A and B are shown apart, each in its own frame.
Chain A
Amino acid sequence: MIKFITKRILIAIPTLLIIVAFSFFMMRIAPGGPFTNERALPPEIENNIKAAYNLDKPVYEQFYIYIKNLTKGDFGPSFKYKDFSVKELILNGLPVSVTLGLSSIIISLFIGSLLGIIAAINRNTIFDYSVMGVSLLGICVPSFVMAPLLSLFFSLYLGILPTSGWNNGNIMNLILPITALSLPQIAVISRMMRASTIEILNSNFIRTAKSKGLNSSYIIRKHVIRASILPIIEYLAPASAGLMTGSIIIEQIFGLPGIGRYFVVGALQRDYTLVSGVLILYASLLIFLILITDIIRAILDPRVKI
């Protein structure tokens, strides 16, 4: 197991390096970026940047310093907020984004898989059709339409939930953002789960299980689920990527001070260091999730070699 994990980590490192290189060279070629000379910045930030990046050194040395700083968790000073480093900004937003993302991923995986399995077992019944219909809606109504609609209905019309704000993570403030963020993922996951469960139900080994005279709930529990959940496990990383990008918009709409919010502000104001810091953070997180996916898959499917 340890060997397996080490190998995966060794594969992950070059990926991360490519991303880091991308963000470094992007900042170099960006007009008005931190590494060019024709900047018009307030003197304090100018000094921060100069001190952080040793602009008089040659490029490869700058790249080396950049990577060395990253390994210490230092993303450099913000390009626009003069009293903050990127690390401080990210740490500020982290609790909000983690709360939002983690609850959404758990909710989507759980509800999505459950709906998919039940729909597959009750194929071509009212339940199946309604799940598939609603999930189609979840796929075709993007989150930036769904979120305002939800808040229009539940906050402005019914007045039972707050429109926006973090409010120290009060559950009432979280319901709408988490719902809006999870719905598209629930839609996708329930469809995937339905399709894969149907495929497994039609497979030869389920026929064997039926020929043993076992009852259906036992067959589903023991023989079907562990096989049909595999595509969902594989989807963990893409789903998280979807949630990350989704949260950028959801945080914006519901006025939540998370990382996505900083990212948008950073993008609009061309805060290069902040934007690339978020990129590297998200990419590392995804690579980590892919590692987790591999491990879970190895546990669930004995055919995967460890």
Chain B
Amino acid sequence: MPLTQKNIKNNNLLLDIHDLNVFFNTPEGISHVVKDVNFNIKKGTCLGVVGESGSGKTQTFFSITGLLANNGYAEGEAFFKNTNLITCSNEERRGFLGKSIGFIFQDPMTSLTPHLKIGDQLAEIAIYHKKINKKKALERAIEVMDIVKLPSNRDIINSYPHELSGGMKQRIMIAISLMCEPDLIIADEPTTALDVTTQAEILNIFNDLKNNLNIGLVLISHNIGVIAETSNEVLVMKDGEILENGETSKVLTKPENKYTQHLLSCIPPWIGN
């Protein structure tokens, strides 16, 4: 494919997606939830993804990271470091996950293993991918806890998830994704479950990551205000299709698509400017 060829040359590209489709086998037949999507993500930028509930935002990125439910499968191309993440082997994909790609999930409350200490849940990634010992891994854990602005002391390392607040759990989730200095972080509605103040703090962390660590960021959100604040480019999805894709400032000020216009008209006036 000539297209792919070109993209490999463009070494600023982090993730390049072509004709990606996601299907689910259901009792009612095959349901097609992501339809022929094309987009890419550049280093050090943030791609915002908006769309109503059920529009396929989460499943798009689950398919890339091999996290689809058992009844789901994907077709197409998703190039990351010259590897097609859709067709590569599980071992190859596991080599990227946690190491060069971090994933932050929609629901921080249930996304941490309840019976393991926070320190172990952070350390295990570095132990596994970098083959370092537990002591070193815990030191790294304290470093990343500093990045996500958690008090980097032993208390949190030794506590269990149920002892932390929602905001702290989400910071831990971000810290988990940072353990191995990733190139790409996918954050699926990282702030939806949190109160407004915490939400702003978390978004600040993301801005720092993007600007200081040169990490490519995918930020999925319902909230156009959040997208406007953080992302350089935006993707509008509906029913598994991409309706609009372009620079955030353009899309949000001069939307071409009816649906985007509709979405924008739903934002309370005090958010946009």
The majority secondary structure among interface residues of chain A is helix
Partner of B105, one of A208, A226, A302, A303: A208
Interface residue B176 (Cβ < 8 Å from any Cβ of A): yes
Residues of A contacting B69 in the complex (Cβ-Cβ under 8 angstroms):
202
Task: Give residues 207-256 of A contacting B (CB, 8 Å).
Answer: 207-215, 218, 222-223, 226-227
Interface residue B272 (Cβ < 8 Å from any Cβ of A): no
| In the bound complex, CA of A209 to CA of B120 (Å) | 12
> How many pairs, one residue from A and one from B, have CB atoms within 8 Å of each other in the complex?
76
Interface residue A300 (Cβ < 8 Å from any Cβ of B): yes
Question: Are B116 and A303 touching (Cβ within 8 A)?
Answer: no
Q: A204-B111, A303-B160 are in contact. Are A215 and B116 (CB under 8 A)?
A: no
Question: Are B98 and A214 touching (Cβ within 8 A)?
Answer: yes
Task: Give residues 172-199 of B contacting A (CB, 8 Å).
Answer: 173, 176
Interface residue A61 (Cβ < 8 Å from any Cβ of B): no
Interface residue B79 (Cβ < 8 Å from any Cβ of A): no
Q: Shortest distance in angstroms between A123's beta carbon and chain B's nearest beta carbon?
A: 8
Chain B residues touching A, range: 20 to 34
Residues of B contacting A209 in the complex (Cβ-Cβ under 8 angstroms):
113
Q: Shortest distance in angstroms between B244's beta carbon and chain A's nearest beta carbon?
A: 28
Interface residue A269 (Cβ < 8 Å from any Cβ of B): no
Where the two chains meet, the residues of A that have a C-beta atom closer than 8 Å to any C-beta of B are 123, 202-215, 218, 222-223, 226-227, 300-303
Other CB < 8 Å A-B pairs besides A208-B105, A214-B98, A214-B125, 16 of them? A123-B70, A202-B69, A205-B111, A207-B67, A208-B103, A208-B173, A210-B66, A210-B97, A211-B97, A211-B103, A212-B97, A212-B125, A213-B95, A213-B129, A214-B94, A222-B113
| In the bound complex, CA of A103 to CA of B110 (Å) | 38
Q: Shortest distance in angstroms between B173's beta carbon and chain A's nearest beta carbon?
A: 7
| In the bound complex, CA of A66 to CA of B163 (Å) | 48
Question: Are B162 and A302 touching (Cβ within 8 A)?
Answer: yes
- Would you list 8 pairs from A and B whose C-beta atoms are within 8 A, ordered by A residue? A205-B110, A205-B113, A208-B113, A208-B176, A212-B98, A223-B113, A301-B115, A302-B162
| In the bound complex, CA of A204 to CA of B94 (Å) | 18
Question: Are A204 and B107 touching (Cβ within 8 A)?
Answer: yes
A211 to B, closest residue via Cβ: B103
Partner of A211, one of B98, B110, B113: B98
Residues of A contacting B105 in the complex (Cβ-Cβ under 8 angstroms):
204, 207-208, 211
B95 to A, closest residue via Cβ: A213
Residues of B contacting A205 in the complex (Cβ-Cβ under 8 angstroms):
110-114
Question: Are B94 and A213 touching (Cβ within 8 A)?
Answer: yes
